[in-house]
């Protein structure tokens, strides 16, 4: 993941359980940095398709799902906006951390991607940054913290 993100000038901010937070445009956000983030999502999608045949079947006696139900997947909530970002921790162990409404929206959109069974999801706030470079499919209208948003799958 880190290698794919770095190829598009992104930074993996943190890994937490089964998700990662990646940031693009740290040197100055542009529409291009948002397209780079989207390109990473497409690359990860393609990488998982390549890796899927090499994932060993699960020991179905010890897991809740059968091997045919298990698959590699990626879901991404793609949003742009301002972040509060900085180093946190002690001198011996610091890490980059971002907080704020943009981070919360990205996490929420990522959950909507899971809900709709799609891997790359963005909103009406950022649609214009992608419409000429990617195919977008309108999914639904939602309300996030009092704001009306239209969800778009990046196909």
d(CA 42, CA 25): 18
Decide: 149 and 123 in contact? Cβ < 8 Å: yes
- What tens digit of pLDDT does each residue of 104-115 get? 898 899 899 989
Residue with tokens 């909507």: 112
**pLDDT at residue 79 tops 60:** yes
- What tens digit of pLDDT does each residue of 89-100 get? 888 888 778 888
Decide: 7 and 22 in contact? Cβ < 8 Å: no
Structure tokens at 117: 């069974």
Please compute the mean of the pLDDT values over residues 11-17 and round it to a whole number: 76
Residue with tokens 């398709």: 49
Our measurement of the distance from residue 18's CA atom to the centroid of its chain's CA atoms, rounded to an integer in Å, reads 12
In the three-class reduction of DSSP (H, G, I as helix; E, B as strand; rest coil), residue 24 is classed as strand
Look at 49-53, 59-63, 85-89, 149-153 and tell me which has the smallest mean pLDDT: 59-63
- What tens digit of pLDDT does each residue of 30-41 get? 668 888 888 888
d(CA 45, CA 73): 8
Q: What is the pLDDT of residue 71?
A: 60
Ranges assigned E (strand) in 78-135: 84-90, 93-99, 120-123
**pLDDT at residue 45 tops 70:** yes
Give 6-70 as a DSSP string: HHTTEEEEEEETTEEEEEE-TT---HHHHHHHHHHHHHHHHHHHHHGGGSPPP-TTSSSS-GGG-
d(CA 113, CA 85): 25
Band the pLDDT of 62: cuts 50, 70, 90: low
Main-chain dihedrals φ then ψ at residue 12, nearest 5 degrees: -85, 110
Band the pLDDT of 85: cuts 50, 70, 90: confident
Please compute the mean of the pLDDT values over residues 57-73 and round it to a whole number: 55
**pLDDT at residue 69 tops 70:** no
Q: Which domains, from first to last, does the chain contain?
A: 1-55+68-154 (3.30.70.1230)
């Amino acid at each position: 993941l880190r290698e794919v993100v770095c190829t598009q000038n992104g930074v993996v901010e943190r890994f937490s359980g089964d998700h990662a937070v990646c940031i693009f445009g740290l040197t100055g956000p542009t529409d291009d940095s948002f397209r780079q983030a989207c390109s990473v999502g497409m690359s990860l999608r393609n990488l998982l398709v390549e890796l899927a045949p090499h994932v060993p079947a699960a020991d179905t006696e010890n897991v809740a799902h059968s091997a045919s139900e298990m698959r590699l997947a990626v879901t991404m909530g793609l949003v742009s906006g301002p972040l509060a970002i900085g180093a946190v921790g002690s001198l011996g162990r610091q890490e980059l951390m971002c907080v704020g409404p943009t981070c919360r929206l990205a996490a929420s959109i990522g959950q909507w991607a899971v809900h709709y069974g799609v891997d790359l999801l963005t909103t009406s706030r950022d649609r214009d940054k992608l419409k000429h470079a990617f195919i977008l499919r309108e999914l639904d209208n939602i309300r996030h913290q009092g704001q009306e948003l239209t969800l778009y799958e990046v196909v």
